[in-house]
Amino acid sequence: MKGLLAIAFLFSAAAPAQDQGPRVKQRAEIDWKASGSMPPTAEYHLIYEDPATHAVQTLVRLPANYSLPSHSHTHDETMLILKGKVAFEKDGHTTVLLAGSYAVVPAGMIHSLKTKGWGACEMLVSLNGPFDVKGLKTTLP
């Protein structure tokens, strides 16, 4: 009986609250914010943060001619390009990611992003832990 109670407790703790419905936002309702951890003009919108692990899902918007210098993250990062295109650079090799493309970047891997003169780029970025940017060699506001 104690085993059944323990299992029931584990499942109830993992289940989302019953009174919490879906969060839905239209594009026009998205509140973009300036990033304090990336060079100026990058913007983000936090979609979700896991209360236990602090893993995040964010929308990121980079303007034309934007450069995010070499950096890494403590946790794995997944980028899905939603609009525009971005140059993903790692170890001197560049891959241009178009809308619909994605990159999975292992924790600690140094990489950079550039939108060049192509126009703005919007992407969904997920990290499997708290968001951070390590090794950025730029002065941030």
List, for residues 53-96, the tens digit of each pLDDT value.
999 999 999 999 999 999 999 999 999 999 999 999 999 999 99
**pLDDT mean across residues, the chain:** 86
Cα(128)–Cα(115) distance, rounded to whole angstroms? 25
Architecture of domain 32-141: Sandwich (2.60)
pLDDT band with cut points at 50, 70 and 90 for residue 37: confident
pLDDT of residue 53: 96
The answer to whether residue 1 scores a pLDDT higher than 50 is no
Q: Please state, in angstroms and rounded to a whole number, the distance separating the CA atoms of residues 118 and 66.
A: 10
Band of residue 137 on the pLDDT scale cut at 50, 70, 90: low
The answer to pTM > 0.85 is: no
Question: In 3-state terms, what secondary structure has residue 10?
Answer: helix
∠ CA 87-114-96, rounded to 5°: 10
Give me the residue label for tokens 């951070």.
132
